[in-house]
Amino acid sequence: SAVISQKPSRDICQRGTSLTIQCQVDSQVTMMFWYRQQPGQSLTLIATANQGSEATYESGFVIDKFPISRPNLTFSTLTVSNMSPEDSSIYLCSVAASSDTQYFGPGTRLTVL
Amino acid sequence: AQSVTQLGSHVSVSEGALVLLRCNYSSSVPPYLFWYVQYPNQGLQLLLKYTSAATLVKGINGFEAEFKKSETSFHLTKPSAHMSDAAEYFCAVSPYSSASKIIFGSGTRLSIRP
């Protein structure tokens, strides 16, 4: 299995600011994903982070609000831009190698005031 | 489009009793099905997955699930509940592979009574 770390683990931010979340995995993986879990809700896929190309966003999520980078096969970042209280959520990255199982990181708990 | 429906947002059982968490799926293609568990203030951990091999899938911590195509169900069971099983459980489906986009159910919170 892959060992995934996320930074920061939690943060409290002011409205209108941006936060960049990092996801690091201990081995090269084919696929990396970013999910959002709003308070008391299930997980929703934001986008697939593609190595060397633009991320693939799900319906309802746009690049201007959630820019994603993936410079290599072990690292990705998600930025939450121009934050509002509605962005308060847990953001999780997940990874998968080839056709293997998808593993999830510990999550970043974001509170926007 | 693929989706999963979890019946019951909250299930409470006594310690030592049978655990049954229900999940029904909708998929136009043979699905990949999963159960994940989320302990308080932690990330998700895979309990088990179905990938078109055996219909009875055994997972970690004594959990198992049975894929029933005729009922489009993938219910999660454990013969004897333990206090440490208290957590949020998510059923999920992927239409392509176990390493592709996953669609999650709404979750079921399992409580264990002493």
Q: Residues of A with CB below 8 A from B105's CB?
A: 42
Q: pLDDT tens digits, residue range B69-94?
A: 899 999 999 999 999 999 999 999 98
On whether the CB atoms of residues B33 and B91 are closer than 8 A, the answer is yes
Average the pLDDT over A32-45 and give the result: 92
Contact criterion met (CB < 8 Å) for B45 and A44:
no
CA distance A95 to B106: 21
On whether the CB atoms of residues A19 and A11 are closer than 8 A, the answer is yes
Whether A44 has a pLDDT exceeding 70, the answer reads yes
Q: Which residue of A has its CA nearest to B102?
A: A45
Strands B108-113, B10-14: pairing is parallel
Written as one letter, the residue type at B87 is A
CA distance B65 to A76: 33
- A99: contact with B, CB 8 A cutoff: yes
DSSP B42-74: S-EEEEEEE-SS-SEEE-GGG-EEEEEGGGTEE
Q: Residues of A with CB below 8 A from B46's CB?
A: 101-103
**Res A19: pLDDT:** 98
Write out residues 8-67 of A within 8 Å (CB-CB) of B: 30-31, 33, 41-45, 48, 58
The number of CA neighbours under 13 Å toward the Cβ of A12 is 1
- Residue B97 contacts by C-beta under 8 Å, 6 or more apart in sequence? A99, B32
Contact criterion met (CB < 8 Å) for A101 and B99:
yes
Contact criterion met (CB < 8 Å) for B102 and A101:
no
Please give the share of chain B, as a percent, with pLDDT higher than 90. 68
- Mean pLDDT, chain A, rounded, equals 93
On whether the CB atoms of residues A63 and A49 are closer than 8 A, the answer is no
Tokens 């970013």 belong to: A34
- Of A31, A58, A104, nearest to B44 by CB-CB distance is A104
Q: pLDDT tens digits, residue range B46-73?
A: 999 888 778 899 999 999 999 998 999 9
CA distance A1 to B60: 14
- Of B97, B103, B106, nearest to A99 by CB-CB distance is B97
Strands A43-49, A56-57: pairing is antiparallel
- Residue B69 contacts by C-beta under 8 Å, 6 or more apart in sequence? none
- B113: contact with A, CB 8 A cutoff: no
Q: Residues of B with CB below 8 A from A96's CB?
A: 98-100
Q: pLDDT tens digits, residue range A60-110?
A: 999 999 999 999 999 999 999 999 999 999 999 999 876 567 889 999 999
- A34: which strand partners? A47, A93
